[in-house]
Amino acid sequence: MSEPGAAVDPRAAALDDPAVRSRLDPQGMAGVLSRFPAQCREAQALRPVPDVPLGPPRLVVVAGMGGSAVGGDLLSACAGDRLRVPVLTHRGYGLPAAAGPGTLVIAASYSGDTVEAVSAFEAALAAGTVVLAVTQGGRLGALAARHQAPLVRLPGGLPPRLALGYLFFPLLGILASAGLPTPPPTEVAEALEVVEALAVELGPAAPAGKNEAKHLALEIGDRTPVAYGGQLTGAVAYRWKTDIEENAKRLAVAGALPEMNHNEIEAWRAPEAGRLHAILLRDRGEHPDIGRRFDLLRAVIGPVAGGVSEAWSRGEGRLARLLSLVYLGQWTSYYLALGRGVDPWAVPVLEEVKRRLRG
C-alpha cells in the first residue's frame, strides 16, 4: 500500500478515477460486484420446485461449464470436511460412468443453453439418476419442465461469472434437503458478513492505497498472473484464473500445493519467471505443512519471479474463507481489466465461439 506523502502512481490514479470506470465499464460490472453480498442473501431463499425426491445419495455430480461449474467446486471445498459422499464437478458432455441409480445430478447452466449441461441432464435421465436443473431458463429449463424435474429458477440478466451467489447457495439447500450435512447457519451468516465488509473495502470508492484488490492489480501489472492455492483454496485459484481471463482478457495460470511442488516448480527459472507474477492464496486454517510449503515456495521463486504477492482468507468458517478469496479475485480481475484499458463485461471471442458452434 502507498505511504503517506508518496508520489502518486498514475496507474493507481486511473483505477480511482470515476471517469475511467465510466468509459471502460459502461455496463456497470462494478455495481454488480458491489451487490454480490445481496445476491448471496437472495440466493439463500432459492429452492427447487418441486422438492428433490431423494434420501442421502451415494454420489453427487454437479455438471456445468465455466462460471456455472464453480458452484460445484466451492460446494466440494466448503462441505468436504463434513460429507461422506463424493461431490464431483463434471465439465463436459454426458456424465461420468459412476453416475447411476442413487446418484444426484445437478445440471447447472445460468443461461440454460450450455450444450454440455443439457447433455448431462439428458444423460442423467437415461441413467436413471435423480436429476435437477439450476438455471434461469433456456433449453435446460424447458427440458426440466418437460420431464417435471426439480428446477431452481434463477434471476436473469447477468453473465454466469457474475452470478456465483445464485449458482452456489441453492446447492447448499439441495444437499440439506437430500439429508446431507452442509455448513451450519452460523457459518453461512459469518460468510455473508465477511463479503459485506469486503464489498466496501474492495469497491471503487476505496482508494488504491487502502484497497487490496487495486493493490494486487497494480502489483501484477503487465506480468502473467499465476494463482496458487492450497488444499482448500486450489479451487479458488482456478476461479482467479478464469475471472482474469474473462474480465481482463489475459492468460493466467492456476495451480495448487502440494502438487505444484512436484512438477511445476521446475518451470520457475530465469529469464521466463521474470515475466510471471505469483499470487499465493493463503488460508488461515491451512495445514502447517501447507504453510511451510508456501513459505518455501516464496523463498525459492522470489529471486527469479517478476513478483510474488500473498492474499489471505478472512473469517473462521470454511465458507467465509473461501468466499472472501473468491470475491477478492473478482475485484482484482476487474481492476486488471481497467488497468489494461478493456471492458471487463464484454466477451466477444467467447460469444463468437458459441455462435459458430450453434451454426
Active site residues: 246, 262, 354
Q: Taking the C-alpha atoms of 27, 33, 35 and 38 in order, what is their torsion angle to the nearest 10 degrees?
A: 140
Cell, residue 272: 521466463
Nearest-5° Cα angle at 356, 351 to 359? 130
**Beta strands in the chain, from DSSP E residues, in sequence order:** 59-63, 87-90, 103-108, 130-135, 151-153, 224-229, 253-256, 276-282, 307-312
Cis preceding linkage at 271, omega within 30: yes
Backbone angles phi, psi at 317, to 5 degrees: -75, 160
Is 48 strand, coil or helix? coil
What is the full DSSP assignment across 198-261?
HHHHHSTTS-GGG-HHHHHHHHHTTSEEEEEE-TTTHHHHHHHHHHHHHHS-S--EEEETTGGG
| Cβ burial 196-233 (10 Å sphere, 16+ → b, else e) | eebbebbbbebebbebbbbbbbbbbeebbbbbbbbbbb
- Residue given cell 424447458 in the structure block: 142
- Residue given cell 481489466 in the structure block: 337
Residue 120's contacts (CB-CB under 8 Å, 6 or more residues apart) are 61, 63, 64, 90, 93, 94, 95, 105, 107
- Residue given cell 429449463 in the structure block: 141
